[in-house]
Each structure stands twice: as C-alpha cells, then as structure tokens.
C-alpha cells in the first residue's frame, strides 16, 4: 500500500484513527500506573519492566483484535447510544480476561485487585474521550441561531420520545425548542431525558401547555390505540398549540415511514402532479424600485403575493386590507426579513371610494395586485348583495382609481368559478372580469385578469377543513363522489399573478396549466392516508351538493380561447366573450339589489349570457321583465 493510499485512508477515517491511537495510549498509561503503584508494591511478586511491557502488549493486541471484530473503531459517536457503549465494554472486558489469564499463569493468584482497578480506569477514560469528542463535535454542528425556536412539549418518554428529544436538541434548536416531556409512567416523574425534564403525566397536558407557554406539542407514542390518539390530538387542539404526531406502530412495522418522521401532510403531496415552476427570473427589472399596492394583503393569496414580490426589491409596498390583525401579521413577517422595501400597512375597504382616492393620492402606486374579494361560495349564496358590493363595486372602484392615477399595471385575481358560473360568487367575479376588460380598452394602464383553480391550503379551502375533520376523528365530508376540481398551491398562484403582470399587453385572462382535475373524493382519501390513518378509521361521508356548486369547473369557456394570443409555457391566455359596456349590467343589478332572490337570478343571467348586449336591450325594452335563471341552476344537479 503506497503512502498516498495511506494518507487517503487516514483522511477518510481520521476521527476513528485518533480514537484508536488514544485507546492505545490510555491502556498503556493505565497499565503502567497500576503496575508501578500496585504490582511492584506487592512484596510476594518480583516483576520487571519487560513483564509490564508484555502485559501492555497483550492487552492492546487482544483489545485491538476483539475491537476489530466488533467494529468499535468504525462507530460514529455523534449517534452513539447504549448499544455502542456495550460494544466497547465487551472489547475491554474480553481484553481484561485475556490479560488476567496471562497474569494468573505467570504470577499466580493475588492480582485481582490490580486487574479490577486498571480495567475500571481504562473503561472510564476511553468512554470519557468518546463523549468529550462528541460534545465538541455537537458544539460545532449545532445551529447557533436565535431565537431558540418554538417552545415544544413531547408526549412520551419511551424510545420514540427520546429519539425526538435528542434529535431536536442536537440539530433543530432553531426550529423547535423542547421545554418538557409528559409520560404516564409514575417511575419516570421528575426525571430528565437528554437534559429535558419530565413535567408530569398526559393528564396534566393543559396545565403544562399553559405554564410553559408551549407552542408545539409532539405526540411521540406510536403504540397508542386509535381512540387514545384521537383523544390526545383533540385536547392538544383545544389548547391552541400546534400538534404533530409520529406515525402509528402499524406503519412503522411495515416500513412505510421511519421512526423519526413527524407526520404532517404536505400540500404538494395532494396535487397529483409536480408543482409548476414558472420562470419569473426576468421580473426584477419591472419590480425593482417600483411602488406596489396589494389589496387583500392579509389574505391567503394576498399575503403570499407580498412574500414573493418583496424578493424582487420594490422600493415601497402598500399592504391594503380591512382586517387589521391580518395586515399587522403580514407586515410583521415581512419586516422580520430585514428588507430594504418600505412597507405601508393600510387599513381600508375597496368599497370605500373616498379611502381609495386618498391611498392612491398619498402613495402613488405603479403596480396594483387586486386580491381582495369575497370567495366563499355557500356564504355568498346567502348574501348576494355583499358579494356584489365587494366583488363587483369594489373592483369597479379599484380600476377607476387605478386608471385615474395612471397606474402602470393592474392585475385582478379571479377564479375558475367565473366560467359558466352557477353561483353568486362566480357570477360576481365574472362581472368583475368584464369591468377590468372594459377599462383595458380605454385606459393607458395595462389591465389583466388571472383565474385560479382551487388554491390548496388557502382560507376557506377544502384542505384545512379536511385536516380539522381528520383531527376530530372524522367523518371527512365530501359533497359528491364525482365532484372534481383543478388545484394549485399558494406559491403557484402568487407566481402566476406576478408573471401575468409582466406578460400582459392589456385585457387578457391568464390561467395556469394545472394538469388534470382531481376528484375531491380521491383528495379526501389521500389526506387520510398521508395523516397516518385508514378509511376504516376515518370514514368519508357524502353530504350532497350545496347551493351554487357544480360537479366540475372549467378554466376557459369554449369561446374565450384567443388563438392569436401569445402562448407561454404552462400558461393559457384567453379573452371574455364580446360586450359593449358594463354600465347597463350595473344598472340592472341596482334595480334588483334589495331582492336577494331576484338579484341572484340577475347575476346568473348576466354572467352566462352569450350575447349580453342583445339580452340587455331586450330586458330594458320589456320594462325589466326577464326570464329567471333557474335553468342555470340545473347545472348544479346534472353537471352540464
């Protein structure tokens, strides 16, 4: 073996080579000391230096031989446990047995005390060097970040709990900080596990969470019964703490998941496709140094828009919304990034035209992202006028003020429910699209619309509902076994909006290519399985279609696809069916705003009209008598 090869072997195994050398030195020193202090003081024995060297050599060779068989010098002591200590103990004890056999055959009986003393000294010093080195390595590897992370409580001090505690203490201090453990074994009360105190039993969960200001609770008992598991998860939920759970024992036994996996459903796992990665690298030149306004900035889409936009270095960002707490939270989050962008948290309502005028006059935004809207389908069915006020009039106010103050670009966030709508929410968003597109014809501002599918994880979406139902133990409710939806993630949605603001030339509708639609029933089953349960444990209940729902959604109507529009990778571009003006539509809505039933029919009729100009002329000529849109509602039942 050449010198270069030896050097290479040493570099790869340097730490274990050093341990090997340290072991030899320790055994030599210990044997020498005990030989001088004890062996040579026993008058009945007469020994020489060569005797001592022979004993040292015998112990070293036997330790090295047995250690090689047990591979003790190939142990990674960062992850050592009782098993590894046992291996070292066996090697040392075996070498001591060999040494004692030699000393007994050479000098006879009477050296038992010396053998015991040198064995204990060698064992303690060798183990001490391992853990001293491990401590130094952990000090280097451990993240030195502040703050220490969310205060975390672990339920279960068994093997799984100890693994979790050690892992979090050594590698994830900046994410989760373990402040205590709960365990129902009375023999463990008041003890410590890896330096973390056992604060009581699971019966004291609520008290400990309150006293320790716990933010995260990890259930680390995979052997729990299903009923007990659900009971604890419900109690954790009531405390307000975030809950995580290790997989159940059945999953561990089949090898589906590993012991150190903390189960939490990832949104990307529910898509049924790879997330779309839009190329937004060329956006910086449009955003850097600009003044950007985001309406609905505290909502799911609006807040993610802010997170994405701030990466491009706008000079100023106006966070506009009517929910003071949500605006406060997104402002706090963005400021924590240490950004140079000047942030303006602004409380206001898009229905308040005077407030909008003041905001645009004060901050002079150059790019506007309009994400504020009422979007909950069943709620808007019961409150059609509120949907009109926010989605229609609010959008009208925004486009008028944006055009008046010469905003460069304006992007409105819409929904696939605006295509052939069967509900109030979709109808109002369809009319809002028309408002934006009409203004695009006459304004120097570039106006565009972006249609979303169902955004996974957003407020009011099906995923948070299913999560809540699973934690409660079920049932998970699905309205129809055949219902399908297009899905996208919040980051996909926000990137699409930003991309559209750059690509638009005025008046387009942008839709992300979201692949094939997903059955809601399949989504429910996948969430149950990813949460660590089976369909037998968490049942699915079909509740029937709600008012305003249809079995499937569409991205673009058949006559909306623009064959001459530029086609971008992963993005469809379309335009709405032709119309002259939205003013007659708004006038018609005003005539029926006090009658919720009639207002709903008007919205459905207008939003689904194939020739809105002709239909409006006929309606006004007949003295506002029109055919109710009950035929539109038939789509809810037959899905046509």
Residue 630 within a domain: no
Domain that holds residue 256: 150-264
Q: Do residues 374 and 508 share a domain? A: yes
Q: What is the mean pLDDT of residues 10-29?
A: 66
Give SS3 for 517. Answer: coil
Q: Do residues 333 and 440 share a domain? A: yes
**What percent of the chain lies above the pLDDT cut of 90?**
23
Q: Do residues 113 and 198 share a domain? A: no
pLDDT at 302 over 60: yes
Query: Does 138 or 228 have the greater pLDDT score?
Result: 228
Q: Name the catalytic one among 417, 439, 519, 550.
A: 417
Q: What is the mean pLDDT of residues 458-466?
A: 71
pLDDT at 56 over 80: no
- 604: nearest Cα among 622, 623, 581, 627: 627
Q: For residue 583, what are the CA distances in angstroms to 352, 396, 616, 627?
A: 19, 11, 11, 20
Q: What is the CA radius of gyration of the chain?
A: 35
pLDDT digits (tens, 9 = 90+) for 404-424: 999 999 999 998 888 888 899
Tell me what the pLDDT averaged over the chain comes to.
77
Query: Does 231 or 183 have the greater pLDDT score?
Result: 183
Task: Give the pLDDT band of residue 440 (cuts 50, 70, 90).
Answer: very high
Q: Domain total for the chain?
A: 3
Q: Do residues 119 and 174 share a domain? A: no
Residue 127 within a domain: yes
Q: Do residues 457 and 492 share a domain? A: yes
Which segments within 249-407 are labelled E, that is strand?
291-295, 316-321, 342-347, 367-370
Task: Give the pLDDT band of residue 101 (cuts 50, 70, 90).
Answer: confident
What is the predicted pLDDT for the residue at 549?
A: 75
What is the predicted pLDDT for the residue at 9?
A: 42
Q: For residue 502, what are the CA distances in angstroms to 341, 410, 411, 454, 592?
A: 20, 10, 10, 23, 39
pLDDT at 634 over 50: no
Q: Do residues 394 and 529 share a domain? A: yes
- 510: nearest Cα among 560, 584, 442: 560
Q: Which of 151-155, 467-471, 566-570 has the lowest mean pLDDT?
A: 566-570
What is the predicted pLDDT for the residue at 194?
A: 79
d(CA 183, CA 157): 6
What is the predicted pLDDT for the residue at 255?
A: 43
pLDDT digits (tens, 9 = 90+) for 364-406: 999 999 999 998 888 999 999 999 999 999 999 999 999 999 9
Task: Give the pLDDT band of residue 439 (cuts 50, 70, 90).
Answer: very high
Q: Do residues 505 and 432 share a domain? A: yes
**What percent of the chain lies above the pLDDT cut of 70?**
73
What is the predicted pLDDT for the residue at 375?
A: 86
Q: Do residues 352 and 243 share a domain? A: no
- From 235, 264, 293, the end of a domain falls on 264
d(CA 604, CA 527): 34
Task: Give the pLDDT band of residue 273 (cuts 50, 70, 90).
Answer: low
How far does CA 235 lie from the centroid of its chain? 22
Q: Do residues 427 and 468 share a domain? A: yes
Q: What is the mean pLDDT of residues 117-140?
A: 67
What is the predicted pLDDT for the residue at 405?
A: 96
d(CA 596, CA 178): 54
What is the predicted pLDDT for the residue at 79?
A: 54
pLDDT at 250 over 50: no
CATH number for the domain harbouring residue 244:
3.40.50.720
Residue 631 within a domain: no
Q: What is the mean pLDDT of residues 345-356?
A: 96
Catalytic site includes residue 550: no
Q: For residue 559, what are the CA distances in angstroms to 420, 450, 563, 577?
A: 11, 17, 10, 7
Q: What is the mean pLDDT of residues 463-471?
A: 79
Q: Give me the residue label for tokens 């009581």.
A: 200
pLDDT digits (tens, 9 = 90+) for 7-19: 444 444 555 667 7
Query: Does 177 or 515 have the greater pLDDT score?
Result: 177
d(CA 402, CA 376): 26
- From 80, 115, 141, the end of a domain falls on 141
Running DSSP on this structure, what letter comes out for residue 334?
Answer: H
Q: Which of 54-68, 240-254, 464-478, 592-606 has the lowest mean pLDDT?
A: 240-254
Task: Give the pLDDT band of residue 1 (cuts 50, 70, 90).
Answer: very low
Task: Give the pLDDT band of residue 609 (cuts 50, 70, 90).
Answer: confident
Q: Do residues 137 and 158 share a domain? A: no
pLDDT digits (tens, 9 = 90+) for 558-591: 666 655 554 556 677 777 667 888 999 999 999 8
Tell me the HSE value of 51 on the side-chain side, using a 13 A CA sphere.
15
Residue 273 within a domain: no
Residue 627 within a domain: no
Q: Do residues 232 and 312 share a domain? A: no
Q: Do residues 448 and 359 share a domain? A: yes
Torsion angle of alpha carbons 393, 398, 400, 404, nearest 10°? 160
Residue 407 within a domain: yes
What is the predicted pLDDT for the residue at 165?
A: 82
d(CA 318, CA 359): 9
Residue 628 within a domain: no
- From 219, 237, 264, the end of a domain falls on 264
Q: What is the mean pLDDT of residues 54-82?
A: 71
What is the predicted pLDDT for the residue at 279?
A: 56
């Amino acid at each position: 073996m050449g010198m270069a090869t030896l050097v290479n072997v040493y570099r790869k195994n340097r730490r274990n080579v050093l341990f090997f050398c340290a072991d030899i030195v320790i055994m030599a020193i210990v044997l020498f000391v005990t030989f001088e202090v004890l062996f040579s003081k026993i008058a009945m024995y007469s020994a020489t230096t060569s005797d001592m060297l022979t004993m040292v050599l015998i112990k070293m060779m036997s330790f090295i031989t047995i250690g090689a068989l047990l591979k003790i010098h190939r142990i990674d002591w960062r992850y050592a446990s009782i098993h590894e200590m046992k291996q070292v103990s066996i090697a040392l004890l075996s070498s001591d047995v060999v040494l004692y056999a030699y000393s007994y055959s050479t000098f006879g009986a009477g050296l038992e005390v010396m053998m015991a003393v040198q064995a204990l000294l060698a064992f303690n010093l060798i183990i001490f060097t391992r853990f001293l080195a491990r401590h130094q390595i952990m000090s280097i590897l451990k993240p030195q970040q502040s703050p220490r992370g969310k205060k975390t409580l672990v339920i279960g001090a068994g093997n799984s709990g100890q693994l979790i505690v050690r892992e979090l203490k050594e590698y994830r201090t900046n994410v989760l900080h373990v402040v205590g453990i709960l365990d129902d074994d009375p023999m463990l009360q008041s003890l410590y596990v890896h330096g973390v105190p056992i604060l009581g039993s699971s019966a004291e969960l609520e008290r400990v969470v309150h006293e320790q200001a716990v933010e995260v609770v990890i259930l680390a008992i995979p052997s729990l019964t299903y009923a007990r598991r659900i009971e604890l998860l419900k109690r954790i939920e009531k405390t307000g703490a975030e809950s995580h759970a290790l997989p159940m024992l059945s999953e561990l036994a089949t090898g589906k998941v590993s012991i150190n996996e903390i189960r939490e459903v990832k949104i990307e796992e529910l898509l049924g496709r790879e997330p779309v990665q839009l190329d937004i690298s060329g956006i910086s030149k449009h955003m850097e140094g600009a003044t950007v306004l985001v309406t609905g900035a505290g909502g799911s889409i609006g807040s993610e828009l802010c997170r994405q936009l701030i990466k491009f270095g706008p000079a100023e960002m106006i966070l506009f919304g009517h929910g003071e707490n949500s605006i406060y939270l997104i402002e706090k989050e963005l400021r924590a990034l240490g950004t140079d962008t000047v942030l303006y948290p602004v409380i206001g309502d898009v229905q308040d035209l005077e407030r909008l005028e003041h905001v645009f006059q004060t901050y002079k935004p150059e790019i506007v992202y309009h994400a504020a809207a009422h979007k909950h389908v069943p709620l808007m069915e019961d409150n059609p006028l509120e949907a009109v006020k926010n989605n229609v009039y609010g959008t009208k106010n925004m486009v008028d003020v944006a055009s008046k103050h010469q905003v460069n670009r304006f992007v409105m966030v819409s929904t696939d429910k605006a295509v052939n709508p069967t509900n109030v929410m979709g109808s109002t968003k369809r009319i809002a699209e028309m408002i934006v597109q009409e203004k695009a014809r006459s304004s120097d501002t570039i106006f565009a619309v972006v249609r979303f599918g169902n955004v996974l994880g957003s407020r009011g979406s099906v995923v948070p509902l299913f999560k809540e139902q699973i934690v409660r133990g079920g049932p998970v409710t699905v309205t129809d076994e055949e219902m399908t939806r297009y899905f996208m993630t919040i980051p996909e949605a926000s990137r699409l909006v930003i991309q559209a603001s750059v690509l638009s030339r005025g008046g387009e509708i942008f839709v992300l290519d979201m692949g094939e639609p997903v059955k809601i029933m399949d989504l429910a089953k996948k969430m149950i399985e990813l949460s660590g349960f089976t369909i037998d444990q968490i049942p699915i209940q079909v509740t029937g279609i709600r008012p305003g729902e249809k079995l499937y959604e569409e991205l673009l109507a058949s006559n909306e696809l623009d064959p001459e529009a530029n086609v971008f990778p992963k993005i469809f571009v379309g335009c709405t069916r032709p119309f002259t003006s939205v003013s007659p539509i708004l006038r018609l809505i005003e005539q029926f705003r006090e009658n919720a039933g009639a207002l709903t029919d008007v919205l459905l009729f207008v939003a689904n009209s194939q020739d809105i100009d002709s239909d409006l002329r006929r309606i006004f000529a007949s003295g506002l008598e029109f055919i109710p849109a009950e035929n539109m509602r038939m789509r809810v039942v037959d899905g046509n």
